[in-house]
Structure 1
Amino acid sequence: MDQGDETQSAADGTPPARRTRALRWARNGAIAILVAIAAIWLVLFVTKGRFLKRPFERIVSGLVERPVRVRGDFQLYFAPFDIKLLAEGLTVANPAWTTRDHLFAAQRIDTRIAPLPLIVGRWRLRWLDLTDASLDLEWNEAHTANSWTFGAQGGGEPFELPVIGRARLVSTALRYRDPRLALLADLDFSSITSRDARIGEAVRFTGDGRIRGTPFTLTGALLSPNETVARGRNRLELNAVAANNRIRMTGTLPSLAEIEGVPLQVAAEGRNVAELLDILGIVVPQTRAYRLTSTLVKRDARFRFGDLKGRFGDSDIAGAFTVDNGAERVHVEADLATRVLDIVDVAPFIGYNPDVVAERGVTAAARATGAGPARLLPDANLRAEGLRAFDADVRYRVARLQSDNVPITDAAVTVALDDGLLSLSPLNFTMARGTVRSDVRFDWRRRPARVTYDFRLGSTPMARLLAGWGVADAGTSGTVSGRLRLEGDGDTLHDSLATSRGRIAFVIPQGTLTTRNVQLSELDLGTFVQKMFEERLKEPVNINCGLVAFTVRRGVAAADPILIDTRKNVITGRGGFSFVTERVDLAFRADAKKFSLFSGQSPVGIGGTFSDPALAAVSPDLLARAGAGLGLAVLAAPPAALLAFVDIGDAQSAACGPVLAGATASEQRTSEGKRREDVGADEDAEREDRPRKKFLGIF
């Protein structure tokens, strides 16, 4: 050793001999490692690593905590630097709770694995050749575990797709099952070939399945597969057909099977929204053809459809709703609004088919539900069983109802459904500048259902309310208010009203009323003739107070009372109508307060049915009096014929207090405080089991 080496050894404190031995050992160790690697490489290359088949199955099975088997040829070796893996008949078992044995199965898998990324726990496949592969993805019944999350109970880390450089996939299938949604889907992917980490324009697939018992077919594509294989984001396009509904879904997924929290654009169209929502277990009335768009976001068991826009029939719809499958029953929460609601599209909510209403009218629609001839109320069952399958909290607003005769605006309803108890409370709307506040309740927990109707009409101008029936705006200052409260039992609108009991009352305070044509509101033909002769047809009728009220028992409404006090007359009415048979049998007459020369004083009747009412302005009583006048003219002189039409004017004015309070007939009084004898509930009108009689000699 020269002086320099000795000086260096002395400086670092290492004896020269020991340093030399350390270098020799390091060199020999490196050579040994290289020789061992070469030997292993050579052994694996010569044997193709087939002897590692059982260790491979054992090690991988331990890692994923489920059996992994290779039933055919197996190769695992370096070729030359990448790891080659070939396995025929490779299967990865599913957890015991699934309906299929294998999560993954392939007739043949041949791949090259980059070794260096494995050191940091990442998989990079330089190329992959997969033949006749199938992947089965399932959730358990409680939705707490899935088959693709490895672990003893499916609660470990989910499987992630590796990065793939080149690939060729032939006859690949995927099956997805979700018991919570009652969903089963089978997809078949077209053959895929990729080079340099690029697959091409799209990976397309077709499939079919069932959701809540409804079969469906679908087609779709992964529109950015090159980003998917590079662990990027994937653009999905899906088209499905189910129960006459066409659904299109597009969006960008973070991975192949991940939709949690991802906004997806959904467009749907079909002939009936009820058929679409029935797929999700939600029962709604039938609609006409619809077209909707929305943004769907899934979070756990909640599916939120936001930015909803579209049309059903001739009406628009907007808002958002959420479907929650996490509880025992599906729960729906919605906030919806309509600018213009066509009255035909309201028909399904009371049991009519809207298409039949639009094409042939309400009577034909009622007949289509099973109602008898000339019936108007539908006999359609409102699907009580379905209403016990889900719960709901819905808020719905309508700016305007499109109708020729019903001026309704600013409608709003809150719908609550809890285990078959359906409440529409409050159900409010503006009708002819008057406010209707109502509550409707259907108790489907009992059969037949118990139904309660409670409608309260605030002070409403008659000119607007009755504009479609000939009432003129100019010269009409009268208003009307009222309440309808009925309770009945039935699973259809007709049955619930046909068994109803309660009261209907409309109050008319002081005001005037003018009609555009015939003044039947006065109901005094003599006054009408007199005004016609004097050319004062447009003179308003001066109303002091009025009450039109009915007591309802067993679906039959009897006048209790009908009493209108005007400046010249006291108008009373008898009779009633029936929700059971839908027949109307009402008679009105006016008694003059003052002497009237041309006063027929004969009743005016309203008869027929709800669907075809009839007005008898000239009654048999009037004809008989005209005949008496003719006889007197023959026996005496023509002026004597007028005596048959003379009214001495003895009508007693009504006390307006009980009238405006909506009191029953027994509580009505004259202006002098005496009990009225000319009004009263007709007992025969209240009983369907009694023989029908003609009120006041008409109908």
Structure 2
Amino acid sequence: MASRRQWAWGLGVGLPLVALALFLALFRWDWLIPIIEAQAAVRLGRPVTLQHLHVSLGRTIRVTAEGLRVGNPEGFPEDPPFAELPRGTVDVAFAPLLRGKVVIPAVELEQPKVEMIGRPDGSTNYAFHAAGPAGEGSGEGGPQIGALRIRDGHVHAAIANLKADFAVNLNTEDPAGGDPALLADAKGTYAALPIEARFRGGAVLNLRDAEKPWPVQLDLSNGPTRVALRGTLKDPVKLAGANLRLDVQTPDMALISPLIGVPITRTPPFRATGRLDYAEGRFRFTDVEGRVGNSDVSGAYTVSTGDRTVFTADLHSRRVDLADLGGLIGGTPGRAGTPGQTPEQRREVARAEASPRLLPTTPISIPSLKKADMHVRYSADSIRGQGIPFDGLEMVLDIEDGVIRLHPGTFKVGRGEIAADLTLSPQENGIPHAKAQIELRRVDISRLMQAAGAGGAGTLGGVGRIESTGRSVSELLGNGNGELTVVSVGGNLSALLADLSGFEFGKALLSALGLPQRTQVECLIGDFGLTRGALRVRTLLLDTDSHIVTGSGVAGLGKEVLDLRLRTDSKRFSIGSLPTDIAITGTFKNPSIAPEVGELAARAGAAVGLGVLFAPLALLPTIQLGVGENSQCERLTQTAQGREAQQQR
């Protein structure tokens, strides 16, 4: 009996052990391939095939995959597939697995190939719809990766919407006494321009080892644009712990748009250096110091990496040249002699200066603005432009879903300012609709006169509005409806006209008006109506210490033509001070001034003084426009009212 029980116990224990031994002896890891393929296909949303799978057990488990192929999503051809890996090996430490931790000491990939395709309709074969911003959260609780080795890796990208077709070669090198470093070389076209790049990732050992920051070195050229990146990352998998220095140089910031996915207006040559990092789903370019044309610029930029690109900038200039900002309104940015201009940019500036047109005619690209939202704050301490010494500029610009809002844009002038609020909205017909308000708040005339080398005092105030549709600034003004009212008290007329109109034109205008080189402004009232691009003078009254000037006429904003009349009357009659009219005609860029001789002879015996004053009665409710004391303007209008009442009796 005992013998039988021993045999039974032996068979009960021995048979399972034998069966296990036979199973292990006969087991093939390839039997798991269908399960692995099915699970991977579900997770990736595309077919996955694997030819062979080998596993070697021990303290370090080595998993070797052969013939791995990741197909394209539905709607794309089978060949070439998205990815191919002839052979890949992953080492996994056994002991940490017992504690629920995955430690991968080494990964080796032999001749991996990736084919990235982006079609004109926006569909791609490389979108996997990963949750959360790229690089964030991807490493929490994930595997700890050690050395990565790649031999003869190749990535080809053909993305129609980026006008890109380039190849990247990937390898690692094993320097003597060091760990494998990642190398990448790229060549081809991007944004329809030649692109070349070389990347060196340094030691790849333990990508998450915060005690061993991962060095980064990138040199990239895309057409004439040059980008250099130097520094380290503490956690490359999450793009965290960045200590990177970015240098960018390009003849036109618009060329950077394809690299960051944000539409940027054309600019003169741009260069900048700053610190680059990544946090909260945004790339941040901070501590920026650079130049745009003749203007300095500092501050910070951020670009989001979510479903919709959002660009944010907070910028400051100590000194800005308004010509460098010309691209914002569709003009040609920069001026002749701007350092670093390309030959084409020099030709464009020359053509713009030679053009008979003054207002920009380049259409505003609303479709491109819909690709990203933008929020920009900008300030400048001093401004160069057209000889007008503004004291500063502040601007808040928001672009959301193609709607542009400037709220406000403010030019500082002495103790006052010129402020504008603008909204530009896309319409179904593709033609933008614009609505703007403008205010002149106690603008210091003495500051406006400095460019003419004269002194003086006085303030200028006013309000205006415009509503229009058009594809460019020229069309918007040419189709616009609105009005503008200005009032001034005090100041020096000669310097004011010279500064606002251009020095030579201002002197010619003074001469034609018969005014002395130095004459004090006691009151200026202007009221203008805008109808379908025609800016008509409703009231124009200028009172100096010796003369009164009145005006009439129209300026065609669409065709940029002038047809204005000014009449000068002396307050003290003399044989040499007969009233006369002068005509201002021509174009905005090339105005001409000529006296109307026939009118002079016809009016030789006309009344002089306040009797010829055109009464600005409609302005009485708006004469207080923040210009302070204006008793002289009020006295003139009251006198004009009295004269008009006497004539009606």
Same structural fold, with TM-score higher than 0.5 when normalized by the shorter chain? yes
Say if 1:177 and 1:159 are closer, same or farther in 2 by CA, change over 3 A. Answer: farther
Q: Which of residues 132, 144, 149 is equivalent to 2:131?
A: 144
Aligned residue number for residue 89 of structure 1: 66
Aligned residue number for residue 439 of structure 1: 421
Say if 1:278 and 1:487 are closer, same or farther in 2 by CA, change over 3 A. Answer: farther
The answer to whether the 8 A contact 1:322-1:334 is kept is yes
2:475 is paired with a residue of what secondary structure?
Answer: helix
- The one-letter amino acid of 2:369's match is L
Q: Which of residues 198, 201, 207 is equivalent to 1:219?
A: 198
Q: Does 1:604 align with 2:587?
A: no
The answer to whether the 8 A contact 2:458-2:488 is kept is yes
- The one-letter amino acid of 2:530's match is V
Aligned residue number for residue 631 of structure 2: none
- The one-letter amino acid of 2:216's match is L
Q: How many angstroms does 1:558 deviate by? A: 1.8
Alpha-carbon distance in 1 for matches of 2:140, 2:325: 51
2:111 is paired with a residue of what secondary structure?
Answer: strand
- For residues 300-321 of structure 1, what are the alpha-carbon distances to aligned partners after superposition, in whole Å with 9 as ceiling and x for unaligned? 6433332232111111222223
Q: Does 1:417 align with 2:376?
A: no
The answer to whether the 8 A contact 2:154-2:170 is kept is yes
Say if 1:346 and 1:677 are closer, same or farther in 2 by CA, change over 3 A. Answer: farther
Query: Over alpha carbons, which structure has the higher Rg?
Result: 1
Q: How many angstroms does 1:144 deviate by? A: 2.0
The answer to whether the 8 A contact 2:102-2:143 is kept is no
Say if 1:657 and 1:623 are closer, same or farther in 2 by CA, change over 3 A. Answer: closer
Aligned residue number for residue 549 of structure 2: 571
Alpha-carbon distance in 1 for matches of 2:522, 2:607: 21
2:642 is paired with a residue of what secondary structure?
Answer: coil
Q: Does 1:376 align with 2:363?
A: no
Aligned ranges for residues 347-358 of structure 1 at < 5 Å? 347-355=326-334
Say if 1:348 and 1:110 are closer, same or farther in 2 by CA, change over 3 A. Answer: closer
The answer to whether the 8 A contact 1:339-1:399 is kept is yes
The answer to whether the 8 A contact 1:351-1:493 is kept is yes
Q: Which of residues 368, 378, 392 is equivalent to 2:374?
A: 392
Q: Which of residues 268, 290, 293 is equivalent to 1:288?
A: 268
Alpha-carbon distance in 2 for matches of 1:432, 1:76: 79
Aligned ranges for residues 98-113 of structure 1 at < 5 Å? 106-108=85-87
Say if 1:574 and 1:261 are closer, same or farther in 2 by CA, change over 3 A. Answer: same
Say if 1:400 and 1:249 are closer, same or farther in 2 by CA, change over 3 A. Answer: same
- The one-letter amino acid of 1:54's match is D
Q: Which of residues 431, 435, 441 is equivalent to 1:448?
A: 431
2:361 is paired with a residue of what secondary structure?
Answer: coil
- The one-letter amino acid of 2:539's match is P
Q: How many angstroms does 1:523 deviate by? A: 6.1
Of 213-222 and 114-123, deviating more is 114-123
Aligned residue number for residue 640 of structure 1: none
Q: How many angstroms does 1:192 deviate by? A: 3.0
Aligned residue number for residue 570 of structure 2: 592
1:598 is paired with a residue of what secondary structure?
Answer: coil
Aligned ranges for residues 252-651 of structure 1 at < 5 Å? 252-254=232-234, 257-260=237-240, 262=242, 264-299=244-279, 301-327=281-307, 329-355=308-334, 374-403=356-385, 405-446=387-428, 447-468=430-451, 470=452, 472-473=454-455, 476-509=456-489, 513=493, 521=510, 525=514, 540-616=518-594, 618-621=595-598, 649=608, 651=610
Aligned residue number for residue 13 of structure 1: none
- The one-letter amino acid of 1:188's match is N
The answer to whether the 8 A contact 2:418-2:443 is kept is no
Aligned residue number for residue 675 of structure 1: 644
Aligned ranges for residues 52-67 of structure 1 at < 5 Å? 52-54=28-30, 57=33
Q: How many angstroms does 1:173 deviate by? A: 4.0
2:238 is paired with a residue of what secondary structure?
Answer: coil
The answer to whether the 8 A contact 1:597-1:647 is kept is no
TM-score by length of 1: 0.69
Over the aligned positions, Cα root-mean-square deviation in angstroms equals: 5.1
Of 128-137 and 265-274, deviating more is 128-137
- The one-letter amino acid of 1:652's match is G
Of 478-487 and 208-217, deviating more is 208-217
Q: How many residues align?
A: 592
TM-score by length of 2: 0.74
- For residues 441-463 of structure 1, what are the alpha-carbon distances to aligned partners after superposition, in whole Å with 9 as ceiling and x for unaligned? 21223532122232211233434
Alpha-carbon distance in 2 for matches of 1:215, 1:294: 25
Say if 1:439 and 1:449 are closer, same or farther in 2 by CA, change over 3 A. Answer: same
Aligned residue number for residue 228 of structure 2: 248
Say if 1:523 and 1:477 are closer, same or farther in 2 by CA, change over 3 A. Answer: farther
Say if 1:60 and 1:365 are closer, same or farther in 2 by CA, change over 3 A. Answer: closer
The answer to whether the 8 A contact 1:84-1:110 is kept is no
Alpha-carbon distance in 2 for matches of 1:364, 1:168: 51
The answer to whether the 8 A contact 2:133-2:306 is kept is no
Aligned residue number for residue 172 of structure 1: 153
The answer to whether the 8 A contact 1:204-1:222 is kept is yes
Q: How many angstroms does 1:54 deviate by? A: 2.6
Alpha-carbon distance in 1 for matches of 2:135, 2:166: 16
Say if 1:677 and 1:491 are closer, same or farther in 2 by CA, change over 3 A. Answer: farther
Alpha-carbon distance in 2 for matches of 1:190, 1:89: 19
- The one-letter amino acid of 1:190's match is N
The answer to whether the 8 A contact 2:295-2:317 is kept is yes
- For residues 27-47 of structure 1, what are the alpha-carbon distances to aligned partners after superposition, in whole Å with 9 as ceiling and x for unaligned? xx9xx99xx99x98x999xxx
Aligned residue number for residue 633 of structure 2: none
Say if 1:544 and 1:442 are closer, same or farther in 2 by CA, change over 3 A. Answer: same
Aligned residue number for residue 132 of structure 1: 111
Say if 1:348 and 1:51 are closer, same or farther in 2 by CA, change over 3 A. Answer: same
Over the matched positions of the two proteins, sequence identity in percent amounts to: 21
Residue ranges of structure 1 left out of the alignment (5+ in a row): 1-28, 529-536, 626-643, 679-699
Alpha-carbon distance in 1 for matches of 2:646, 2:556: 25
- The one-letter amino acid of 1:285's match is T
Say if 1:676 and 1:53 are closer, same or farther in 2 by CA, change over 3 A. Answer: farther
Say if 1:145 and 1:615 are closer, same or farther in 2 by CA, change over 3 A. Answer: closer
Q: How many angstroms does 1:273 deviate by? A: 1.1
Say if 1:677 and 1:398 are closer, same or farther in 2 by CA, change over 3 A. Answer: farther
Alpha-carbon distance in 2 for matches of 1:163, 1:419: 44
Say if 1:479 and 1:155 are closer, same or farther in 2 by CA, change over 3 A. Answer: closer
The answer to whether the 8 A contact 2:209-2:235 is kept is no
Q: How many angstroms does 1:286 deviate by? A: 0.4
Aligned residue number for residue 685 of structure 1: none
The answer to whether the 8 A contact 1:247-1:267 is kept is yes
